[in-house]
Amino acid sequence: MAESVTAAEQRTSLHGHWSSRFAFVLAVTGSAVGLGNIWKFPYVAGQNGGGAFVLVYLGCVALIGLPIMMSEILLGRRGRRNPVETMRILGDEEANQPAWALVGFTGMIAGFIILSFYSTIAGWTMAYTVKAATGTFVGQDAAMLGAEFGAFIANPIATGFWHTLFMAVTIVLVGLGVEEGIERAVRFMVPALVVLLLILLAYAVTTGQFAAGAAFLFEPDFSKITGTVVLAAMGQAFFTLSVGMGAVMAYGAYLPQDASIPGTALAVAAADTSIALLSGLVIFPIVFANGLDPAEGPGLIFQTLPLAFGQMPAGSFFGVLFFICLGFAALTSAISLMEPAVAWMVESFGLTRPTAALRVGGIIWALGLLTVLSFNYLADFKFGRGTIFDNLDFLSVNVLLPVGGLFLTVFAGWVMCQNSTADELDPSVGPMYRIWRLLTRYVAPVAVVLVLLNAFGVFG
C-alpha cells in the first residue's frame, strides 16, 4: 500500500495544472452550467409533470450526483491521466484490475453521443441570437413563434450549418487547449447569464401566471411519479452536473493536490441547481400565460423565451445577450465533453492536441447530423424511444451516464482502499468524508440500480 501512495503522489498531469483552485471551480462550473440547465431542465420537467419530477431531481443531485462528482474529482486527481488511463492505473494499483479502464472508455463514448446532439441544440441558440438581433420576435404571438421555430428546425441546411459552426469552434478551442480563455469566459458569462435570467424573471412576474408557473415547478403531485419519471430525473441530475462520463475526472487530473474536493463539488452543484430552477421559474409562467404546452419538448425555450424578448422593453438587446451567453455556456460544456477523448488520444497515442481534437470532433460532427435530420427528414423514422435524437438522448443521458456513475461509485467506495480515498478527501476536516463514503458505498449505487431496474420493468 505504502508503495502505491507514493506512486500516486508522484504522478503529475501531462498537460500541466489549473492555475488555482478557483480556476478549477470555474472550469467545472463551465462544464456543468449549459444547455442542461436552461434548455433541458424546463422541457424535461414539463414532460414529466413538474413538481414531483423536480423533487426527485433535487434528491438525485444531492444523494447521487454530488458524491459521484466528488469521486470523479478524486479519481482524476489521483490518476492524473485521461479517464481511460486513470481508471486503468487506479484499477491496477488498488486491486490488480486494469479492466476498470472500460469505465473510462464507455464514458468517452457517452461523451461522443451527448456532444453530437448537444451541438445541434447549441446551433439552434446561435441561430436564435441572429433572430433576436434582427427583430424577428417583435410583435409575434405564440402561434407565430411556434411556426417560426417549426420552419427553422425543418430546414436541415440551416440547422446543419449552425451545428457545423458550433463544432468547428469547439474543435478549435479544444485543439488549442485554451484553459485561460475558458476561465475568463466562464468568469464573465455565468454571472451574466444569471443576471439575464433575473431580468427575464422580472418579465415572467408580469405575465400574470407566475404563481401557476411556480406551483407547477414546486408543488409535487406524487401521483405523477412513475419509474420513467424517476429515471428521467436521475438522468437529468447526471447530465446537468456533467458526471458519469469522465468530464469532471478529466478536469480533476489537472487539480492541484491541496484543493478541497468537497468544497468544490458543493459550490458547483449549488450554482448549477439554482440556475436550472431559475430557468424553470422563467419558462413556465410564459408557458401558462400563452396557452402553451409544458410537455412541448425540446423546442420549449425556443418558443417561450422569444415571446418574452418580443414583448419586454429592450427585448431585442436582452435577447441577443441571452442567446450569446447561452451559446458560451454551451461551448464550455462542449469543451468538457470532448476533453476525455482528446486527452486520451494525446496521452495514449501521441497525437498532437489539434489533431486529436479534429479527429474526435469530426466523428462527433458526423454523428450530430443524425440529430439535425431527426427534426426534419428523419422525423418520422421512429423506434424505441422515438426519433433518432430521442434514442441518442435516452441512451446517453438515462442509461450510459447512470451506469457509468454506478461503476465509478462502486470503484471509489468499494474497490479503492480507504487509505487512498482518505488521502484525497481529508477526513480530518469536518464530516464530509464520512458522509461521502456513506453515500458512495450504499446510497448512490443502490439508488442507481433500483431506478434502472424499476424503469426497465424488472419490478413489474
Q: Are 106 and 340 in contact (CB under 8 A)?
A: no
- The least distance separating ligand PHE from the CB of residue 117, rounded to whole angstroms, comes to 11
Stretch that binds ligand PHE, among 28-36, 362-370, 423-431, 440-448 (CB under 6 A): 28-36
Q: List Cβ neighbours of 344 (8 Å cut-off, separation of 6 or more).
A: 82, 83, 84, 85, 104, 108
d(CA 306, CA 297): 16
- The least distance separating ligand PHE from the CB of residue 236, rounded to whole angstroms, comes to 9
Q: List Cβ neighbours of 210 (8 Å cut-off, separation of 6 or more).
A: 204, 285
Stretch that binds ligand PHE, among 48-56, 62-70, 237-245, 447-455 (CB under 6 A): 237-245
* Residue 52 in the binding site for ligand PHE (CB under 6 A): no
CA proximity to 283, closest of 300, 262, 267: 300
Integer angstrom CA distances of residue 142 from 197, 278, 448: 20, 22, 39
- The least distance separating ligand PHE from the CB of residue 111, rounded to whole angstroms, comes to 6
Question: Residue 136 or 332: which CB sits closer to ligand PHE?
Answer: 332
By CB under 6 A, name the one of 25, 26, 34, 167 that touches ligand PHE. Answer: 34
Report the amino acid identity of residue 348.
S
CA proximity to 217, closest of 135, 277, 145: 277
* Residue 242 in the binding site for ligand PHE (CB under 6 A): yes
* Residue 32 in the binding site for ligand PHE (CB under 6 A): yes
d(CA 96, CA 90): 9
Question: Residue 332 or 420: which CB sits closer to ligand PHE?
Answer: 332
Q: Are 273 and 192 in contact (CB under 8 A)?
A: no
* Residue 122 in the binding site for ligand PHE (CB under 6 A): no
Q: Are 36 and 336 in contact (CB under 8 A)?
A: no
Question: Residue 35 or 432: which CB sits closer to ligand PHE?
Answer: 35
Question: Residue 52 or 326: which CB sits closer to ligand PHE?
Answer: 326
Q: List Cβ neighbours of 211 (8 Å cut-off, separation of 6 or more).
A: none
By CB under 6 A, name the one of 68, 74, 247, 249 that touches ligand PHE. Answer: 247
Stretch that binds ligand PHE, among 131-139, 220-228, 238-246, 355-363 (CB under 6 A): 238-246
Question: Residue 247 or 253: which CB sits closer to ligand PHE?
Answer: 247
- The least distance separating ligand PHE from the CB of residue 333, rounded to whole angstroms, comes to 4
Question: Residue 31 or 316: which CB sits closer to ligand PHE?
Answer: 31
Question: Residue 289 or 444: which CB sits closer to ligand PHE?
Answer: 444
* Residue 210 in the binding site for ligand PHE (CB under 6 A): no
- The least distance separating ligand PHE from the CB of residue 401, rounded to whole angstroms, comes to 7
By CB under 6 A, name the one of 13, 31, 136, 290 that touches ligand PHE. Answer: 31
Extract the C-alpha cell encoding 21.
483552485
Q: Write the binding mask 72 to 111 for ligand PHE: x where contact by CB under 6 A, - elsewhere.
A: ----------------------------------------
Bridge partners, residue 102, by sequence:
none
Q: List Cβ neighbours of 214 (8 Å cut-off, separation of 6 or more).
A: 281, 284, 285
Ranges within 315-334 binding ligand PHE (CB under 6 A): 333
By CB under 6 A, name the one of 70, 108, 114, 326 that touches ligand PHE. Answer: 114
By CB under 6 A, name the one of 8, 23, 35, 225 that touches ligand PHE. Answer: 35
d(CA 39, CA 20): 31
* Residue 190 in the binding site for ligand PHE (CB under 6 A): no
* Residue 61 in the binding site for ligand PHE (CB under 6 A): no
Q: Are 273 and 54 in contact (CB under 8 A)?
A: no
Q: Are 415 and 376 in contact (CB under 8 A)?
A: no
By CB under 6 A, name the one of 86, 240, 371, 440 that touches ligand PHE. Answer: 240
Q: Are 203 and 312 in contact (CB under 8 A)?
A: yes
Count interface residues toward ligand PHE (CB under 6 A): 15
- Residue 204 backbone phi and psi in degrees, to 5: -60, -35
**DSSP strand E in 299-407: where?**
none
- By CB atoms closer than 10 A (0-12, 13-18, 19+), residue 261 is buried
* Residue 239 in the binding site for ligand PHE (CB under 6 A): yes
Positions that interact with ligand PHE (CB under 6 A): 31-32, 34-37, 114, 239-240, 242, 245, 247, 333, 336-337
